[in-house]
Structure 1
Amino acid sequence: MKKKKRGLGLALALASMMFVTACGSSGSPATPSETPTNETPSEGGDQVLKVQFDVEVSSLDPQIATDGTSFELIAATTEGLYTVDAKGSPVLAMAKSVDKSEDGLTYTFTLRDAQWTDGTPVTADDFVFAWKRLVDPAVASEYAFIMEIAGVKNAAAISSGEKPVDDLGVTAKDAKTLVVELDVPVPYFESLMAFPSFLPMNEAFFTAAGDNYGTSPATVLANGPFKITAYEPATTSITLEKNDKYWDASAVKLAGIQYQVIKDSQQAMLSYQNGDLDVATLSGEQVEQFQADPEFKNVVAGYLWYISPNQKVAGLENENLRKALALSYDKEAIVSNILKDGSIVANFAVPTKLATGPDGKDFRETTDTYLLTDKAKAAEYWNTAKGELGVTELTYTMIVEDTESAINVAQFIQSEIQTTLPGITIEIQTMPKKNRVERMQQGDFELGLTRWGPDYADPMTYLDMWTTGSPNNYGFWSDADYDAIIESAKKGELALDLEARWEALKDAEKIVMDAAVILPVYQKGDAVMIKDGVEGIEFHSVGINRGYKNATKK
């Protein structure tokens, strides 16, 4: 996650493709129980789920937030037209029903009777305001692109400033009727509607809060399962309570959620053992120590961790130097000896188990691997680069977020590079994730250890990051042939030929990897401890990482 402004959503030819987020669904999305209630089960502390975050929440604004931690908190308190079930399939939420036109270009949603926590009704205008705000160039949301991916009419032209915001294809026919017009049919449109960027926003409340929106419980509204009762920016503790105004409150069994930001895994495990946490993430030696414990659980995650070299920094524009760096560190040692959490070696740009192609196979099954660890070859590339650059020594700083696992991985990579490539010095600078992201967005870095989680189940959620001018193309790489493939796959000729598009995306990945645009490290797995008696937490590899509406605690 962390996204950018991009081109239009995929064309009609994708309609037959099977997506991870839609697996197991058939016909119309299921609808949760229809009868809202204000009855609340036991409100005692034993019904409060205590969960660890390993990084701070960056934003509570659905149209501004870009990171998985913020998305998880926002999704616990705010609900959109759809949510997703345990399998990741779209489920009607704020929408009571939906009518789809035969050509797939118009969706008419009828909203259910629902309230914000201040007692005002959730209306179609709340969605119109939020969606227009998302694509408004004056707001400059990094997630404006996702409205284009969803195919909403005029989204691309509005984001680029070519058309006014009011031309967006979303209309409040009346308080309970929302009409959405698309430029092209998008087969995974309903799954996207559960993504936080599409969540509603009460305009009157947002306007009154002004710049203070989302900085305290008093400056944020909820219409979802929980509401925030204690929070301030950069806090290490966030308290949620069950929202008794939620339309489906009878389905929510928890009295609340207590989030604690604990970056050190040893401290987190002590808190878990002391009963101060019900859900904690393990790392390193802890995994071996506790993997036989019945409360241990391995969760597949979609995050790709990689190093981004800033090609505007002297030397890093050299392809041979980038290849030398990419091949110089032992990825297997990272996943087996440092992380030990189910993570796997990444010799690719598009993770495994992300999306299925027209052949019914996972993208990775019929695709090559790239930039495998090869220290002898890395040394050859370095020798070539030295001649091309006219240097014998280089020093670069790698910025890293201040979590234990990120620091451990960075320190290992530092040692490996300096040993494999004599003459290269790597210095490490740690900082909170938010600062690391800001530095990379601004181009104020040399090397950055970063990650990306998929927002939707298609290789494009990764591949279009590296198009020319993309805000998430941190390395400022540019290739006209690559840009042409991505553009055609999104809304050109390739988009009309499912098989050709799939093969072209493989070609696009090869271009990125052959040029060492990024230096892949690993695909994340999560090793978590979940207290006995806690059930119903929903884990997802695409979109929202964890959901708690159906969680219970005995």
Structure 2
Amino acid sequence: MKKVKKLLTLALAMTLSISLVACGGAKSTSNNSNGTQTTQGSDKTLKVQFDVEIASMDPQIATDGTSFEAIAAVTEGIYSVDKAGSPILAAAESAEKSEDGLTYTFKLRDAKWSNGTKVTANDFVFAWRRLADPKTASEYAFMIGIAGIKNAEDVLAGKKGVEELGVKAKDDNTLVVELSHPVTFFESLLSFPSFFPVNEEFYKQSGDSFATSPNTILANGPYKISSYEPAATTIELVKNTDYWDADAVKLDGIKFQVIKEAQQTMLAYQNGDLDVAALAGEQVEQFKADPEFTNVAAGYLWYISVNQKVAGLENENLRKAIALAYDKEAIVNNILKDGSVVADFAVPQLLATGPDGKDFRETTGTYLSTDKAKALEFYNNAKKELGKETFKYKMMVEDTESAQNVAQFIQSEIQTTLPGVTIELEVMPKKNRVERMQAGDFESVLTRWGPDYADPMTYLDMWTTDSPNNYGFWTNSEYDKLIKSAKDGELALNPEKRWEELKKAEKMVMDEAVILPVYQKGNAVMIKKSVSNIEFHSVGVTRIFKNVTKN
């Protein structure tokens, strides 16, 4: 019955929305159930396209870039980042670091949640403990360990209680964090949504409904939610007038619209229904001379993950054969055309700079480059080792147009290059793809990973044996030891040696074709000339809308 009511409500809302557009889009206001006022048709509302649905608005549960963008628009952590991507104080007004780099003391600003409750240090303690708590089963719990917070690994393993995590509220305005070892990128980590605060009393009152509607989402950031429900195709935000820096927020709100098909997206943009829209394929050629066109470098790595528990895919030669069988240059130049670059690596370009002052990729090699003749050699060896002449595998792909275009090309290339291999595509919404991957219910999948922080570990940590993101179930004890040492062991105390060992770690992953890289994403974007100051980032939250203006 509840689902029927929701559908009726949604249908009515869509009807009202269409009626307003038909009448010329005049301004009107309405109140939702928690009293938040929404503005329809406001010239100061930014209209942004998403190509996939928001999976979760829960900071400690969300795992995808789309969700992180929306969460970061309404919630603020200890730090945010500036235009250059450097950490800047946000919810905290000051930070003090001990000489040994092991203790941080943050003084919070005088700030309020959108229900009028004071933002306190306990909001961070509660959120971080919740992130680390095995009962939460957060896929991003590992971030507590990456941050080097004292006792994190023992808490994550269930050996110690969450109250022993190295974070405490000295008083309402003072948060003290203890680390087990210095972490050079600690401040940047705290700008990531997994570390955002949650009001404990509100969370408990919301129960299982937490973060699923405007009534169960609190904001302490630039905007607050006025319209949202899980898997919705439209999400509306309004300016949060209780935000401590509200004077800097010039928009009335933001309207996120999920549009997956490229032609429909551009029609909406040209009709004025979108201010920000992504281009794909032939559209890039068509609009790249337009003054509203821009190309943005991104950090997302797209790759094929293969489930090594599936018969045949445990064979290294077969994995290498598949990895070398598709033309990556054709994918980026003929299909995407959006500034994406060929990925012959596991750690992207422009991610992190080492102790030598150079980008990680500058001093590392390339791996698994397209080579169809070599692919056939690996394939013939695999057939001998496996005693088979034919192989059939399913490959999951999300239902966005660009992802499907790439998957179809890869399917054709593999089947042509490796006679006897059949690839069957399974198309589904991203949320379903992620759920299937998390359950291990797949054979292969075209997927992506965006960097959460500016260090190679944001990728390399994924392939340790116990990582919740090790979807292919690869295991290598030598690799596990190396990564653990780089996180909180001897290597963590020696930046130069650590950097060199991380290069070896990437080589181990690539040499065994743990993942089959395809491309590093670039974004071709249309932005209305009336819109300024969208901040694009290749690490962490990819778009920040706090300082946007719309004339």
Is TM > 0.5 for Structure 1 vs Structure 2? yes
Letter in 2 for 1:260: Q
Note if contact 2:181-2:492 (Cα within 8 Å) is conserved in structure 1: no
Match of 1:292? 289
| Alpha-carbon separation, structure 1, partners of 2:236 and 2:59 | 18
* Aligned counterpart in structure 2 of residue 107 of structure 1, from 104, 108, 112: 104
SS at the partner of 1:228? strand
Contact 1:456 1:542 in 2 (8 A): yes
CA contact (8 A) 2:76 2:220 kept: yes
- What's the secondary structure of 2:547's corresponding residue? coil
User: Corresponding residue for 1:33?
Assistant: none
1:228-377 matches, within 5 Å, as: 228-377=225-374
| 1:203 equivalent in alignment to 2:200 | yes
1:69 corresponds to 2:78: no
Q: Aligned partners of 2:522, 2:432: CA distance in 1, in Å?
A: 24
Deviations along 1:246-294, one digit per CA (max 9) or x if unpaired, are 1110000000001000011110011000000000000000001001111
Counterpart residue number, 2:386: 389
Q: Is structure 2 residue 158 aligned with structure 1 residue 190?
A: no
Cα deviation code 1:134-192 (max 9, x no counterpart): 10111111111111111111111101101011111111111111111111122221111
Conserved in 2, the CA contact under 8 Å of 1:330 and 1:416?
yes
Whether the 8 Å CA contact 2:148–2:488 is kept in 1: the answer is no
Q: How does 1:39-188 map to 2 (within 5 A)?
A: 45-188=42-185
Asked if the contact 1:43–1:255 (Cα under 8 Å) also holds between the matched residues in 2, the reply is: no
C-alpha contact (below 8 Å) 2:94/2:108 kept by paired residues? yes
How much does 1:328 deviate? 0.4
Distance 1:505 1:99 in 2: 30
Q: Which residue of 1 aligns with 2:441?
A: 444
SS of the aligned residue for 1:360 comes to: coil
Match of 2:527 among 497, 508, 530: 530
Mapped partners of 2:246, 2:118: distance in 1: 16
Q: CA deviation at 1:104?
A: 1.6
Q: TM-score, normalised by structure 2?
A: 0.92
Partner Cα distance (1:302, 1:338) in 2: 19
Partner in structure 2 of residue 26 of structure 1: none
8 A Cα contact 1:136 1:159, kept in partner? yes
Answer yes or no: is the 8 Å Cα contact 1:214–1:220 preserved in 2. Answer: yes
2:24 match = none
Separation in 1, partners of 2:544, 2:290: 23
More moved, 177-186 vs 451-460: 177-186
1: CA distance, partners of 2:121 / 2:426: 46
Q: Decide which of 415, 418, 422 is 1:425's aligned counterpart.
A: 422
Residue of structure 2 equivalent to 1:501: 498
Deviation, 1:366, is 1.1
Q: Which moved more, 1:383-392 or 1:181-190?
A: 181-190
In structure 2, distance between residues paired with 1:187 and 1:511: 25
CA–CA distance in 2 between the matches of 1:490 and 1:189?
12
Once the 2 structures are TM-superposed, how far is the Cα of residue 341 of structure 1 from its aligned partner? Answer: 0.3
Deviation at 1:43, TM superposition (A): 9.6
Question: Alpha-carbon deviation of 1:499?
Answer: 2.2
**SS of residue in 2 equivalent to 1:429:** strand
Partner Cα separation in structure 2 for residue 469 and residue 123 of structure 1? 34
Residues 89-144 of structure 1, C-alpha deviations (whole Å, 9 max, x = no match): 11111111122222221111111111111111111111111111110111111111
Corresponding position of 2:22: none
* Residue 474 (structure 1) aligned with residue 474 (structure 2): no
Question: Within 1, Cα distance between the matches of 2:361 and 2:387?
Answer: 39
Deviations 1:502-546 (A, max 9, x none): 111111111111111110000000000000020000000000000
- Unaligned 5+ runs, structure 1: 1-39
- State the partner residue of 2:542: 545
C-alpha distance in structure 2 between counterparts of 1:247 and 1:495, whole Å: 37
- Could you tell me how far 1:44 is from its partner in structure 2? 6.9
Q: Which of 412, 435, 446 is the equivalent residue of 1:415? A: 412
Aligned partners of 1:184 and 1:311: how far apart in 2?
A: 35
1:518 and 2:520 equivalent? no
Q: Secondary structure at the match of 1:238?
A: strand
Q: Deviations over 1:58-114 (max 9, x none)?
A: 001001111100000000000111111111111111111122222221111111111
2 CA distance for matches of 1:505 and 1:283? 34
Over the residues paired in the alignment, what is the CA RMSD in angstroms? Answer: 1.3
Q: Secondary structure in 2 aligned to 1:45?
A: coil
How far residue 400 of structure 1 moved from its aligned partner, in angstroms, is: 0.5
Give the TM-score taking structure 1 as reference length: 0.91
Find the aligned partners of 2:122 and 2:355 in 1 and give their Cα distance.
38
| Aligned mates of 2:57, 2:412 — CA distance in 1 | 38
Give the deviation of 1:491 after TM superposition. 2.2
Q: Counterparts of 1:264 and 1:298 in 2: how far apart (Å)? A: 19
Cα distance in 2 for partners of 1:347, 1:439 equals 26
Select the structure with the greater relative contact order (CA < 8 A; seq sep ≥ 6): 1
Q: C-alpha distance in 2, partners of 1:109/1:144?
A: 22
How big is the shift at 1:469?
A: 2.1
d(CA) in 2 for partners of 1:58, 1:441: 14
Quick check: 1:439–1:445 contact (8 Å CA) kept in 2?
yes
> What's 1:4 paired with?
none
Counterpart amino acid of 2:352? A
CA contact (8 A) 1:114 1:223 kept: yes
The answer for the alignment partner of 1:461 in structure 2 is 458
Identity of aligned residues (%): 72
Instruction: For residues 376-397 of structure 1, give each alpha carbon's deviation from its aligned partner in whole angstroms, at most 9, with x where no partner exists.
Output: 1111111111111111111000
Cα drift, residue 493 of structure 1: 2.5
Instruction: Report the Cα distance in structure 2 between the residues aligned to 1:92 and 1:186, rounded to whole angstroms.
Output: 18
* 2:180–2:488 CA contact under 8 A, matched in 1: no
* Structure 1 Cα separation of the partners of residues 471 and 427 of structure 2: 18
